[in-house]
Amino acid sequence: MLNVVILAAGKGKRMRSNRPKVLHTLAGRSMLAHVMASARALSPNRMVVVTGHGAELVQAACAGQTDVAFALQEPQLGTGHAVQQAMPLVVQDGITLILYGDVPLVSVSTLHRLVQAAKHGLAILTVQLDDPTGYGRNVRDHDGRVVRIVEQKDATPEEQAITEVNTGILAVSTERLNNWLQRLDNHNAQNEYYLTDVIGMAVTEGIPVATVEPEAPWETLGVNNRMQQAELERIYQRQYAESLLNAGVTLADPNRIEVRGGLVCGRDVFIDVGCVFEGEVELADGVHIGPYCVLRNVSVGPGARVEAFSHIDESDIGAEAIVGPYARLRPGTRLGERSRIGNFVEVKNSTLGDDSKANHLSYVGDATVGKNVNIGAGTITCNYDGANKHRTVIEDDVFIGSDTQLVAPIRVGRGATLGAGTTLTRDAPAEQLTLTRAPQRTIENWKRPRRKDKS
């Protein structure tokens, strides 16, 4: 049996925010969400989040997650007191793992090793820091065994010189933890109940205290202010970029990519500078993403290109299609193979068939566009009547001239041609030329108005 208790009650005064600290984001997700994702990877039998400041907001952020229970710590009297609130909700067997909602980067593999080590006693996650200021120090005896943890405010100058610090993350048998928590006191500089005091109790009882170090020191870094949040963001993004490079992705600059979700790439993918990927994005083999593009919940087919400064949201792009530069695909867009969406074209809730194109300055909304359709510059599907949306259907092999307005609901038949400047209010028949155009006139002897003399 495995319990996971996540401490998330802190106010985070140094964040200078009305939002609970654990709900501040890292790579597009709250820090708490990162910690919970790592915990779930261990397949725990019970997960308990201890809330305090902003408890309602924290619970609302976890709405719909049925595998989570919540315990309220009010008032906040230290980490030991926080864990005490969670214990009635855990499975009273097996091992309990203690995590922190503001330490978001600890890896699953590190936590797995910690839990395994706890099967032989108490296991704590420790790390060597060049500057251990603010952390509890690991005090070892002459044989190298950890005998206690001393907090910064309670440490002597000699103890403050220790560079091996306790991260607060630990795993131990639930039965022993329950027993030790009942014996905690607050006789210390902060008048709080320290969870770390259980280490001393374990030593007194002869329980082995194992130490586990993370694969990388940054896994144990927490967030107490905006600067630390920004530093962890950079660490996360750099690690993600390295994983992409190792998978064969070409990044024009690994320091200028933002992944705020999941990014899956095939072979020979190229990503230029300044791109942002949000939600779940999949780039197939041979995809080229130009500079400063934003993709959110997007699938891009093999060999497709997304040119510079394009913004794509909840859309699917077919193989060998070309989008942009300066294009916008809004939710519900589906582009067929070899289709083209050019500069300053916006597409929303529409499907374009294979080999169809809208190369410049057009709006295609709530439309079904067939194969091999040409949509000329300045074309607009007039889909909104002020109250409801209506659909435009353009069948295969249609040619739409520039500056055309299609007033939906409307259908353009297969192979039809619409002349430039047409405002279409009735269905256009297949294989015919349809246009609406006023006769051209020249007004003789007309004079352009001139500015009046104000003198």
- pLDDT value for 131: 87
Query: How would residue 327 be classed by pLDDT, with cut points 50, 70 and 90?
Result: very high
Express as a percent the part of the chain with pLDDT over 70. 100
Q: Is the distance from CB of 80 to CB of 181 less than 8 angstroms?
A: yes
Give the C-alpha separation, 401 to 225, whole Å: 57
Structure tokens that stand for 279 in this block: 């939600």
Beta-bridge mates of residue 202: none
3-state secondary structure of 200: helix
Give 401 or 132, the one with higher predicted confidence.
Answer: 401
Catalytic residue numbers, as ranges? 360
Q: Is the distance from CB of 330 to CB of 313 less than 8 angstroms?
A: yes
Give the C-alpha separation, 406 to 57, whole Å: 46
For residue 379, which amino acid is it?
A: T
List helix spans (H) across 391-452.
Answer: none
452, pLDDT greater than 90: no
122, pLDDT greater than 70: yes
454, pLDDT greater than 80: no
- pLDDT value for 390: 97
Give the C-alpha separation, 270 to 293, whole Å: 13
- Omega within 30 of 0 (cis) for the link into 217: no
Per residue in 143-197, pLDDT tens? 888 888 888 888 999 899 999 998 999 999 999 999 999 999 998 888 999 998 9
Per residue in 70-101, pLDDT tens? 999 999 999 999 999 999 999 999 999 999 99
- Write down the residue that tokens 């599907």 correspond to: 381
- Write down the residue that tokens 């790390």 correspond to: 127
Beta-bridge mates of residue 28: none
Q: Is the distance from CB of 238 to CB of 212 less than 8 angstroms?
A: no
Give the C-alpha separation, 212 to 110, whole Å: 8
Other C-beta atoms closer than 10 Å to the C-beta of 215 total: 11
Per residue in 206-243, pLDDT tens? 999 999 999 999 999 999 999 999 999 999 999 999 99
Domains (ranges, CATH) in the chain?
2-220 (3.90.550.10), 226-434 (2.160.10.10)
453, pLDDT greater than 90: no
- pLDDT value for 292: 98
- pLDDT value for 451: 84
Query: How would residue 133 be classed by pLDDT, with cut points 50, 70 and 90?
Result: confident
455, pLDDT greater than 70: no
Per residue in 427-439, pLDDT tens? 999 999 999 988 8
Residue 394's contacts (CB-CB under 8 Å, 6 or more residues apart) are 367, 368, 369, 370, 373, 375, 400, 406, 411, 412
48, pLDDT greater than 80: yes
Beta-bridge mates of residue 433: 417
Give the C-alpha separation, 51 to 185, whole Å: 22
Using alpha carbons only, give the angle 12, 16, 21 rounded to the nearest 5 degrees: 35
Structure tokens that stand for 237 in this block: 């993004």
Per residue in 15-46, pLDDT tens? 999 999 999 999 999 999 999 999 999 999 99
- pLDDT value for 406: 98
